[in-house]
Amino acid sequence: MAMLDSFNLFISIAKIIYMKERILSGLQPSGRLHVGNYLGALKNFVELQNSGEYDCFFFIADYHSISEPPYESEQKRKDILDLMKSYLAAGLDPKKSTLFVQSQIPAHTELSWIFNSVTPMGELSRMTQFKDKSEDGEANAALFTYPVLQAADILIYKPAFVPTGEDQDQHIELSRVIARKFNSRYGEVFPEPQSKHTDIPRVISLNDPSKKMSKSKPNGCLFIDDGPEEIAKKLSSAVTDSGSEIKYDAVHKPGISNLLRLASALSSKEIAVLEQEFAGKNYGEFKSYAAKTVADYFAAYRERKTKLSDAKAEKIFTKGSMKAAKIADATLLEVKDRIGLI
Ligand code: ADP
Ligand code: TRP
């Protein structure tokens, strides 16, 4: 009887593990992370990982990052290591998530070539990120086919969800189009992944409330490894709105509403509570409070990051890449078989 009980327990545990839905996401190693990256993506990665409900895969999209400057090899190595350490310092844990590097898994780029053959040019031409990024200057082909590689990154692991900020929705939608096109030509292989957003899927720029905070516009960014003085300086000069009331109104007061959202997310105080606390006070007072909240929140992160060695970070990601490669290689074999390449 005891043996039967243990057997049943084993089966139940195996079922829970087996049935966990998979999530996958990545960031480009293209410079320092800002609070938009953190609140729209990285914080979510950590929370989803710690919920224990998902089989988690997070990676460094280094191949994507070579579609834009900087192109210096030393800088690239530094950016990759820095992102590895940011993931770990923010709380991603190799015991709970598979952490890996895109370029260490050739199956991603192989699948991306295959996906080129089912992707309509028209779909790629209407991607807003490509249009924005190719606006001022001659765009390279990698910038154009970027979403095809992104679809390969995603679909090769057959995840249920892809946690990102709102600006990536169009790319996730394209990965569903590519899955459908492939499945209808060669038979069902890929499930269609869904986006997964945080409560703050679009943090706006500090100096232009009509734009999202973006690494390509560093003046409007609050970086998560900025020191307390820098944070205070940037927030004190953040563009706010006419009037003086600390009140949430995303349409008429986008600047102060953005700061209220940031302060609320990083202090776990409801926006309404902050509004009450700052009733009758001025923008300056609220900005000082927001600066202290941001600086305090990221202090532990900054401390953990400085303690991580390059060697340790690299070791973790190499091990994770070996694990991820097994899954990616298996999907690629299945795909090649369907096409008739093997
Ligand atoms: P950037 O535009 O700063 O270069 P990336 O394109 O590297 O940022 O985005 C990395 C991740 O961070 C993506 O999941 C993206 O959706 C998210 N993200 C980027 N900017 C913001 C923002 N301002 N608000 C919320 N999420 C964001
Ligand atoms: N395009 C994403 C960004 O700029 C990075 C990325 C590449 C990605 N491949 C992905 C995100 C796959 C999610 C899933 O942030």
Task: Tell me, in angstroms, the distance from the centre of ligand 1 to residue 120's CA.
Answer: 26
Sign of CA dihedral 319, 320, 321, 324: positive
Domain 226-297, architecture per CATH: Orthogonal Bundle (1.10)
Domain 2-201+309-339, architecture per CATH: 3-Layer(aba) Sandwich (3.40)
Element (H, E) at 54: strand 54-60
Q: How far apart are CA 49 and CA 214, in angstroms?
A: 25
Cβ distance 274 to 259 under 8 Å?
no
Q: Please identify which of the residues 20, 96, 181, 215 carries the catalytic annotation.
A: 215
Predicted local confidence at residue 5, as pLDDT: 74
Identical fold, 2-201+309-339 and 226-297: no
Q: Catalytic: 307? A: no
Predicted local confidence at residue 153, as pLDDT: 99
Q: What ranges do the domains of the chain cover? A: 2-201+309-339, 226-297
Q: How many CB atoms lie within 10 A of CB 196?
A: 18
Predicted local confidence at residue 233, as pLDDT: 95
Amino acid of residue 285: E
Per-residue tokens: 239: 């563009």
Task: Tell me, in angstroms, the distance from the centre of ligand 2 to residue 164's CA.
Answer: 8
Predicted local confidence at residue 186, as pLDDT: 98
Q: What is the mean pLDDT of each run of 10 residues along the chain (342 residues)?
A: 67 67 97 96 97 98 96 97 98 98 98 98 95 85 97 98 96 98 98 94 93 90 96 94 90 94 94 96 95 97 97 98 98 98 96
Predicted local confidence at residue 11, as pLDDT: 64
Predicted local confidence at residue 133, as pLDDT: 87
Predicted local confidence at residue 17, as pLDDT: 56
